Amino acid sequence: MACTGCAKQFGFFTKEHGCPVCKFSFCTGCLKHKLVREGKKLTVCLRCSKLSVVTNDDFRQHDVPQAVLVKPSPGLHNDSVAKVPIITSATDESQTNEDETIRSRLATLKTVTEDDGASAGPSQHTTSLGPQDTIDIEKRLAALKGTEYKDAAMRKAAAQRFMAPDHRTEQQKVQDLIGQYVAESKLDEVTESRTTEQDEEIVRRLNALKEIVPPKEVPARSDDSDSDTDSMKDEKLARKLAEQYAEEAKIHRRARMDSSSSESLPDDTEDPLPWCTICNEDAVLQCKGCDGDLYCTSCYDEFHYDDNRGEHPTVPFRKKRQVKAK
């Protein structure tokens, strides 16, 4: 915080002091002007010192005797002063006549108003409202509030209907209470019986459904339908059929080779037919790992599956020419 006069920061060597007149903070160098007020010597700032000098000079210039300020003029309380015409200018007679006329009229109005107020009683200024006026005001208030208007009779009847006194005896109250409990118990029994009947009906229907459709057949049908939809594709079906035909051919060939007595190759007249094992086209390859089965190029690439190529070596197949008998 800084001094208001010189803007010097307050600290250990610069103490903060307050001006007793303007209440601002000043340092010791700025708060050095003397001022006497109400018999006390004050140390004030430069601004307050100058303002006090100016105020004293003005008061001395406009100084008025004490007697004039204390004693009022005796003519101020005289009622006849208002009626005396005041002539502001001797040359302007028309202006004077208009002022006198206005003053006379004001005085007349003032006297008439005072006489009427004194003669009139307090009952003449108040107007009493009849019952119909009160009803009209209540209707307007209800319309402004957006509610339905109800007269006093309707409000009284509603209050009696909703808050009717109980004139029953203690015995009647006990009988009514017992009858209420009996009615509630009957209602509970009816509700429980209906709930039981509904539960039994649901159980009966569930048992009937179990007898018609066993629970084990439902997932089997869904699985079959899913498998049928997945397996009824043309390519998968063709591959399955080709594999089945190849396995059957292998089985027949092995059985025929086991039944033969000699392990030598058959004669030229007993050579296998030069056809593909799968499609009956002209054979091109012969698989040694499949007991010499014959394949065409397309069937071998598409249907011959082997994990190890070394166990199924292939050799090109050439059809042997048969020698015609002479």
Q: Rounded to an integer, what distance in angstroms lies between the CA atom of residue 104 and that of residue 84?
A: 10
Would 275 be classed as within a structural domain? Answer: yes
Which residues have a Cβ under 8 Å from the Cβ of 268 and sit 6 or more positions away?
A: 320, 322, 323
Number of domains into which the chain is organized? 2
Q: Which residue range is the domain that position 48 belongs to?
A: 17-70
pTM: 0.20
Taking the CA of residue 80 as centre, how many other CA atoms within 13 Å lie in the half-sphere pointing to its CB? 2
Which residues have a Cβ under 8 Å from the Cβ of 29 and sit 6 or more positions away?
A: 6
Would 21 be classed as within a structural domain? Answer: yes
Q: Rounded to an integer, what distance in angstroms lies between the CA atom of residue 209 and that of residue 204?
A: 9
Would 294 be classed as within a structural domain? Answer: yes
Would 260 be classed as within a structural domain? Answer: no
Mean pLDDT score, 279-298 = 84
Whole-angstrom Cα Rg for the chain: 66
Would 198 be classed as within a structural domain? Answer: no
> What pLDDT does 218 receive?
46
Q: What is the pLDDT of residues 59-109, one digit of tens each?
A: 555 555 555 455 555 555 555 444 555 555 454 566 678 888 888 888 888
95-99, 149-153, 208-212, 322-326, range with the lowest pLDDT: 322-326
Residue carrying the six token digits 């249907």: 303
Q: Rounded to an integer, what distance in angstroms lies between the CA atom of residue 206 and that of residue 198?
A: 12
Q: Rounded to an integer, what distance in angstroms lies between the CA atom of residue 87 and that of residue 92?
A: 9
> What pLDDT does 305 receive?
67
Would 277 be classed as within a structural domain? Answer: yes
Task: Assess whether pLDDT exceeds 50 at residue 261.
Answer: no
Q: What is the pLDDT of residues 292-303, one digit of tens each?
A: 888 888 888 887
Instruction: Give the closest residue to 270 by CA, choosing from 316, 312, 320.
Output: 320
Task: Assess whether pLDDT exceeds 80 at residue 216.
Answer: no
What is the token pair recorded at 78? 């005289």
> What pLDDT does 326 receive?
39
Would 311 be classed as within a structural domain? Answer: yes
Q: How many residues does the chain have?
A: 326
Please tell me what DSSP assigns to residue 16.
Answer: -
Listed residues 70, 103, 134: the one ending a domain: 70
Would 300 be classed as within a structural domain? Answer: yes
